[in-house]
A and B are shown apart, each in its own frame.
Chain A
Amino acid sequence: MNKLSRREILRLMGSAGALAMVPGMTLSQSVLAAEQYSGDLILTLNVFGAWDVTSLCDPKLNTNGEPDINNWAKGLSEIPKAGNIPFAPIGENAFVFNKYAQDMLIINGIDAQTNAHTAGQIHASSGRPSTGFPTITASVAGVYGKSLALTYINNGGYAGNGGLVTTSSMSGPDLIPKLANYDETFHGVGSEHNNALYPQTILERVKSAKLARIERQLAQTNLLTRHKEALNQFYLATKNLDELKKFNDFMPSELINDNDDLGYHPAWKQAEVAMISYKAGLTIGADLIQGGEFDTHANHDAKHQKSLQSLTRDIDTIWGLADKYGIADKVTLIVNSEFSRTPYYNDDGGKDHWPLGSMIIMKKGVNWTNRVVGRTDEIQNGVKINPTTLQIDETNGSLIYPKDVYQALRKHFGIADHSLMQQFDLKTEHEFDFFNPNNSTPQLYT
């Protein structure tokens, strides 16, 4: 790990750290001019509660002599495939896999090494089981677009940014559109109800006075470091509020209605806001929250199938939105969960936690998709694979851990060797070649 120079530490502190308080939202921005970013919008769709991958992208039939893994698999002897990807034939899986298999890279057999939700969430989001490391969205945003106004949006869950960027934490996706019209929202200027408290000229003078006051405070020599950091963030946030107005250039008359008929709160609006913000040049990465009920310790079949339907609809809707905004070829979608569920039912017809899970990485128009890498056995134990060839190798191979996946993602996004990432050494023992289009891992049902 390279030692940071004093200048680098100060620079990082100046552009990250404590979040400035704005009514209804936590937001912080940079004073630096917006950088030109032409890379992908990185979206992570976080499935909290632990999804059952044996009913999705790592399907399992029941094995003689072992407890039933899936009730839906009773009487079945075959698993269907879409392209090269086997999937569980339940719910709306067939629809989404048939439509998007050619855009999917599935990584199976990821050993989360934990079965605690919070630790699993952190591990699955950052590659390390304890806090401190940035998510992949924060990492990419930090390297390529630190100065963008909303470079890293987080709608919930682990929002670690490692000090690389500031996190725009959303308590609701409607906040950014409101803040893009800050003056109208909070001061009534230009609103239809003509209840403006102040004319625009006065507001500008108020803003200038605020900034001048913060500058005077920052100039004090007796400030504590944390206090100075907070003031700096507030200064940046206040100065760059106007940047958010770019959002309006791409804002439709109405955002998508994010109430589905399943009774969950899907990620549609979160995704749409992230896409508009990306088009406006404000955002590089966004963490979305899937609203289904996945932590099914009782009555697993009914609840989980419904939640998986919500998830597959989310995936389809997100790509539909990407098409709508003309950025379908510029989106990388990572679907992930903290771990999976047991390959057997408990006494309440539910499934408890199981550390072996999967990740789905989606992107259109590339050659490394329509593949499955990594593997579990018939009863959902991890199988060791060769990191280079991705073939099964129980003798000299390795299990896949989240740190291996994150190292591969960093390499894929071109940030693994960046100086900013050196302080976040994942200490991987192997380098898995997940994105090599020529190699896949043979699956159970092929």
Chain B
Amino acid sequence: MVSFRLVLISSIVLLSSCTEQVKQSYTINDGDTFTQSVEGIEQSSVSYELAYLDAPEREQPYGREAKQYLKDVLLSEKVIIKKITDSTVELFVNGQSINLAMVSKGYAWASLKIADPAIAKQYTDAQKRATDSLQGIWGLGHGLMIAPWQWRQQGQEKAPSMNYQQQMMLKRRQEQQAQKEAMIKRQKEYAKRRMLQQQQKNESIKNANMNKD
């Protein structure tokens, strides 16, 4: 009896101390992605994207502000995280969608890929409100309002030729390369023809010798 009580109390103490150690921590990557980890448990990190929106990349104009907003929400509020898919989530504070709030406050664009028409309309209306009132991103100069998907694509684009001189140099190099390849091809064909001619010559000599015999 005594030993059973001891085991029970020890288990309760152990369980309590384990519960206290389970704390969530967040690493905010940019305005629409964060990583959730359980402190004290290795390899517990899971990365999530906010559903229904696309926030500026961290290095983009207004990227810092979007990241800071998400950080403030995740670290200081009682956030409820609702999973939409395995990797996308919607955040709620006091019953209000933070995802929708980010779009209506100009911290993010509404995603172009929202499948549910009702949700799509909700987010495009929110974006329209932000655009009309020049909130957040929409208050930037026109040339700086670059959609994050466009930013990601531009980041990988090759530079055009910068001056006429370089274009001419590139063209000359390409022409020289093409000439070189054409010459090699001609040489090979010539060698092949020569070999064929030699073979034919050898055969005719052989035939002539056979006829003589």
Measured CB to CB, the residues of A under 8 A from B are 46, 48-50, 111, 113-119, 121, 129-130, 155-157, 170-172, 265, 289, 291, 294-295, 297, 342, 346, 352-356, 380-381
Where the two chains meet, the residues of B that have a C-beta atom closer than 8 Å to any C-beta of A are: 58-61, 64, 141, 143-144, 146, 151, 154-160, 162-166, 168-169
| Contact indicator B59/A354 (Cβ below 8 Å) | yes
**With A and B bound together, what is the CA distance between A430 and B27 in angstroms?**
32
Chain A positions within 8 Å of B158 at CB level: 295, 297
Q: A265-B169, A381-B58 are in contact. List 11 more A-B contacts (CB 8 A).
A: A50-B159, A113-B60, A114-B154, A119-B143, A129-B141, A129-B143, A129-B144, A295-B158, A352-B156, A355-B59, A356-B59
Question: Is A48 a contact of B157 with CB atoms below 8 Å?
Answer: no
Q: Which residue of A lies closest to B151 (CB)?
A: A115
State whether A171 touches B165 (Cβ < 8 A): yes
The contact of A353 among B64, B143, B154, by CB within 8 Å, is B154
| Nearest B residue to A355, CB-CB | B59
30 residue pairs bridging A and B, Cβ less than 8 Å apart:
A48-B159, A111-B61, A113-B144, A114-B144, A115-B151, A115-B154, A115-B155, A116-B146, A119-B143, A129-B141, A130-B143, A155-B163, A155-B165, A156-B163, A156-B164, A156-B166, A171-B168, A289-B162, A289-B165, A294-B159, A295-B158, A297-B156, A342-B155, A346-B156, A353-B154, A353-B157, A354-B155, A355-B60, A380-B59, A381-B64
Shortest distance between the CB of B35 and any CB in chain A (Å): 11
Tell me which residues across on chain B come within 8 A of A156, comparing CB atoms: 162-166
Bound CA–CA A297/B166 (angstroms): 19
Which residues of chain B are near A354, meaning CB under 8 Å? 59, 155
Contacts of B163 in A (CB 8 A): 155-157, 289
Q: How far is the CB of B56 from chain A (nearest CB, A)?
A: 11
Please name the residue on chain A nearest to B150 by beta carbon.
Answer: A116
**Complex Cα distance A442/B154, Å?**
32
With A352-B155, A355-B59, A381-B58 in contact, do A157 and B143 touch (Cβ < 8 Å)?
no
A48 near B61 with CB under 8 A, answer no
Give the nearest-CB partner of B154 in chain A.
A116
A113 contact set on B, CB distance < 8 A = 60-61, 144
CA gap between A291 and B201 in the complex, in Å: 56
Q: Which 8 A-B pairs have the closest CB atoms?
A: A156-B163, A129-B143, A48-B162, A295-B159, A352-B155, A353-B155, A171-B164, A49-B159
A265 cross-chain contacts in B, Cβ below 8 A = 165-166, 169
List A contacts of B64 (CB < 8 A). 381
A114 contact set on B, CB distance < 8 A:
143-144, 146, 154
Q: Which of B160, B165, B166 has the most CB of A within 10 A?
A: B165
- Name the residue of chain B whose CB is nearest to the CB of A117: B159
Q: Which of B60, B146, B162 contacts A157 (CB 8 A)?
A: B162
A residues in contact with B154, CB < 8 Å: 114-116, 353
- Bound complex: CA A295 to CA B61 (Å): 22
B157: which A residues are within 8 A, CB to CB?
A: 116-117, 353
**A48, A113, A170, A172: which has the most chain B beta carbons within 10 Å?**
A113
A380 vs B59: C-alpha distance in the bound complex, in angstroms?
9
**Partner pick for A117 among B58, B60, B146, B160, CB 8 A cutoff:** B160
**Neighbouring B residues of A352 by C-beta, 8 Å:** 155-156
Q: How far is the CA of A296 from the CA of B85 in the complex (A)?
A: 36
CB distance from B58 to the nearest CB of A (A): 7
* Smallest Cβ-Cβ distance to A119: which chain B residue: B143
Residues of A within 8 A of B61 (CB): 111, 113
- A-chain residues with CB within 8 Å of residue B144 when the two chains form the complex: 113-114, 129
**Given the complex, which residues of A lie within 8 Å of B151, measured CB to CB?**
115
Q: Closest residue to B156 on the A side, CB-wise?
A: A352
Question: In the complex the two chains form, what is the Cα distance from A48 to B61 in whole Å?
Answer: 22
> With A113-B144, A354-B59 known to touch, is A291 a contact of B159 (CB < 8 Å)?
no
Residue ID in chain A nearest B163 by CB atoms: A156
Alpha-carbon distance between A431 and B23 when the two chains are bound, in angstroms? 46
Question: In whole angstroms, how far apart are the Cα atoms of A342 and B165 in the complex?
Answer: 28
**Please, which residues of chain B bring their CB within 8 A of the CB of A49?**
159, 162
Chain B residues near A111 (CB-CB < 8 A): 61
Contacts of A119 in B (CB 8 A): 143
Closest Cβ of chain B to A115, distance in Å, is 5
B contact residues around A381 at 8 Å (CB): 58-59, 64
**Chain A residues near B168 (CB-CB < 8 A):** 171
CB distance from A236 to the nearest CB of B (A): 23
Give chain A residues whose Cβ lies under 8 Å from the Cβ of B165.
155-156, 170-172, 265, 289
Q: B159 — which chain A residues lie within 8 A by C-beta?
A: 48-50, 117, 294-295
A353-B155, A354-B59 are contacts. A118–B160 as well, Cβ < 8 Å? yes
User: Cα distance A116–B146 when bound, in Å?
Assistant: 10
Question: Which residues from chain B contact A117 at a C-beta distance below 8 Å?
Answer: 157, 159-160
Complex Cα gap A355–B143 (Å): 14
CB-based nearest A residue for B57 = A115
Alpha-carbon distance A117/B159, docked complex (angstroms)? 6
* Chain B residues within 8 Å of A172, by CB: 164-165
Q: Which of A116, A297, A354 has the most CB of B within 10 A?
A: A116
B166 contacts which chain A residues (CB < 8 A)? 156, 265, 289, 291
Nearest residue (CB) in A for B173 is: A263
Which A-chain residue is minimally distant from B162 (CB atoms)?
Answer: A48
Chain B: minimal CB distance from A364 (Å): 28
In the bound complex, CA of A114 to CA of B141 (Å): 12
